[in-house]
Protein backbone atom coordinates (compact mmCIF):
# COMPACT_ATOMS: atom_id res chain seq x y z
CA UNK A 1 0.00 0.00 0.00
CA UNK A 2 1.31 3.47 -0.85
CA UNK A 3 2.14 5.88 1.98
CA UNK A 4 1.68 9.65 1.79
CA UNK A 5 4.10 11.56 4.02
CA UNK A 6 3.19 15.26 4.28
CA UNK A 7 5.18 17.66 6.45
CA UNK A 8 4.28 21.25 7.33
CA UNK A 9 7.04 23.54 8.60
CA UNK A 10 6.36 26.69 10.58
CA UNK A 11 9.62 28.65 10.63
CA UNK A 12 11.04 30.83 13.40
CA UNK A 13 12.46 33.19 10.79
CA UNK A 14 9.92 33.26 7.96
CA UNK A 15 11.71 35.83 5.83
CA UNK A 16 11.60 35.23 2.08
CA UNK A 17 15.28 34.24 2.22
CA UNK A 18 14.71 31.60 4.93
CA UNK A 19 11.62 30.20 3.18
CA UNK A 20 13.63 29.83 -0.06
CA UNK A 21 16.44 28.21 1.93
CA UNK A 22 14.01 25.66 3.42
CA UNK A 23 12.65 24.88 -0.05
CA UNK A 24 16.15 24.39 -1.49
CA UNK A 25 17.12 22.16 1.45
CA UNK A 26 14.05 19.98 0.89
CA UNK A 27 14.91 19.61 -2.80
CA UNK A 28 18.56 18.85 -2.04
CA UNK A 29 18.07 16.30 0.73
CA UNK A 30 14.59 14.81 0.40
CA UNK A 31 14.04 14.17 -3.32
CA UNK A 32 15.23 11.14 -5.31
CA UNK A 33 15.08 8.57 -2.53
CA UNK A 34 14.56 4.91 -3.38
CA UNK A 35 10.85 4.11 -3.38
CA UNK A 36 9.78 7.76 -3.62
CA UNK A 37 6.99 7.99 -6.18
CA UNK A 38 6.03 11.65 -5.81
CA UNK A 39 7.86 14.69 -4.44
CA UNK A 40 6.85 18.36 -4.21
CA UNK A 41 7.61 21.33 -1.99
CA UNK A 42 5.14 24.17 -1.54
CA UNK A 43 4.44 27.36 0.35
CA UNK A 44 1.35 28.72 2.04
CA UNK A 45 -1.12 30.40 -0.30
CA UNK A 46 -2.28 33.36 1.83
CA UNK A 47 -5.23 34.14 -0.46
CA UNK A 48 -7.06 30.91 0.43
CA UNK A 49 -8.86 31.92 3.61
CA UNK A 50 -11.83 29.64 4.14
CA UNK A 51 -12.62 28.66 7.74
CA UNK A 52 -11.07 25.24 7.17
CA UNK A 53 -7.76 26.55 5.79
CA UNK A 54 -4.81 26.08 8.12
CA UNK A 55 -2.27 28.92 8.03
CA UNK A 56 0.19 27.64 10.64
CA UNK A 57 2.98 26.81 8.18
CA UNK A 58 5.34 28.44 5.73
CA UNK A 59 6.73 25.48 3.75
CA UNK A 60 5.09 22.15 2.96
CA UNK A 61 6.65 18.88 1.85
CA UNK A 62 4.55 16.37 -0.11
CA UNK A 63 5.88 12.87 -0.69
CA UNK A 64 4.37 9.54 -1.64
CA UNK A 65 6.23 6.29 -1.18
CA UNK A 66 5.51 3.07 -3.04
CA UNK A 67 5.06 1.18 0.24
CA UNK A 68 5.66 1.23 3.99
CA UNK A 69 9.11 -0.30 3.64
CA UNK A 70 10.28 2.54 1.36
CA UNK A 71 8.88 5.09 3.83
CA UNK A 72 10.65 3.42 6.75
CA UNK A 73 13.99 3.31 4.89
CA UNK A 74 13.66 7.02 4.09
CA UNK A 75 13.13 7.88 7.76
CA UNK A 76 16.60 6.56 8.72
CA UNK A 77 18.44 7.46 5.51
CA UNK A 78 21.50 9.69 6.17
CA UNK A 79 20.33 12.42 3.75
CA UNK A 80 16.99 12.66 5.58
CA UNK A 81 18.63 12.71 9.01
CA UNK A 82 21.14 15.30 7.78
CA UNK A 83 18.28 17.49 6.56
CA UNK A 84 16.70 17.42 10.01
CA UNK A 85 19.96 18.19 11.81
CA UNK A 86 20.89 21.02 9.42
CA UNK A 87 17.51 22.76 9.44
CA UNK A 88 15.76 22.15 12.76
CA UNK A 89 17.18 25.29 14.39
CA UNK A 90 14.76 27.42 12.34
CA UNK A 91 11.68 25.24 12.92
CA UNK A 92 9.09 26.71 15.24
CA UNK A 93 6.71 23.80 14.68
CA UNK A 94 6.70 20.74 12.43
CA UNK A 95 3.60 18.68 11.78
CA UNK A 96 3.73 15.33 10.00
CA UNK A 97 0.74 13.65 8.40
CA UNK A 98 1.27 10.04 7.29
CA UNK A 99 -1.56 8.30 5.46
CA UNK A 100 -2.23 4.97 3.80
CA UNK A 101 -3.39 5.62 0.24
CA UNK A 102 -6.24 3.47 -1.03
Taking only the tens place, the pLDDT of each residue in 56-80 is 999 999 999 999 999 999 999 999 9
Look at residue 1 and tell me if it is in a domain: no
Look at residue 19 and tell me if it is in a domain: yes
Look at residue 82 and tell me if it is in a domain: yes
What's the CATH number where 25 sits? 3.30.70.100
What is the domain extent for residue 36?
8-46+55-96
**Cα separation, 54 vs 46, whole angstroms:** 10
8, 31, 51 from 62: Cα distances, Å: 9, 10, 23
Look at residue 85 and tell me if it is in a domain: yes
Q: How many helices (H) and strands (E) does the chain have?
A: 3, 4
Look at residue 2 and tell me if it is in a domain: no
Look at residue 65 in the predicted model and tell me its pLDDT: 98
pTM for this structure? 0.95
Look at residue 20 and tell me if it is in a domain: yes
How many independent structural domains does the chain possess?
Answer: 1
Look at residue 3 and tell me if it is in a domain: no
- The arithmetic mean of pLDDT across residues 25-46, rounded, is 98
Taking only the tens place, the pLDDT of each residue in 6-35 is 999 999 999 999 999 999 999 999 999 999
Amino acid sequence: MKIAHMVYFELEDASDEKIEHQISQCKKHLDNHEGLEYFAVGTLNPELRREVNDHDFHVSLHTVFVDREAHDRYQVEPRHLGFIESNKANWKKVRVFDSDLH
